[in-house]
Amino acid sequence: MAPTLRIDLEKIRSNTWEVARRCKKHGIHLAGVTKGVCGSPEVAFAMIEGGCASLFDSRVANLRRLKEANVPVPVHLLRIPMLSELKEVIEFANGTLVSMIETIERLDLLCEQRRRKLEVLLMVDVGDLREGVWPDEMERFAQVLRRCRWVQCTGIGTNLGCFGGVLPTPLNLTRLVELKGELEHLLASPVPFVSGGGTSSLYLLEEERMPAGINHLRVGEAILLGRDVSRNRYLPGMHRNAILFEAEIIELRRKPSVPIGTIGADAFGNVPVFEDRGFG
Q: Which residues are marked as active site?
A: 35
Residues contacting 35, CB < 8 A, separation 6+ = 56, 57, 58, 59, 62, 78, 220
54-59: which pairs have CB atoms within 8 A and are 24 or more residues apart?
Answer: 54/29, 54/94, 55/31, 56/31, 56/32, 56/218, 56/220, 57/33, 59/35
Element housing 185 (H / E): helix 170-187
Cα 68 to Cα 71: distance, rounded to the nearest angstrom: 8
Q: Which amino acid is at 212?
A: A
Q: Name residue 95's beta-bridge partners.
A: 76, 119
Residues contacting 102, CB < 8 A, separation 6+ = 83
> Phi then psi for 182, rounded to 5 degrees?
-65, -40
CA distances (Å), 37 to each of 22, 69, 148, in order? 23, 15, 34
Burial of 187 (0-12, 13-18, 19+ CB in 10 A): middle
The bridge status of strand 216-219 relative to strand 95-98 is: unpaired
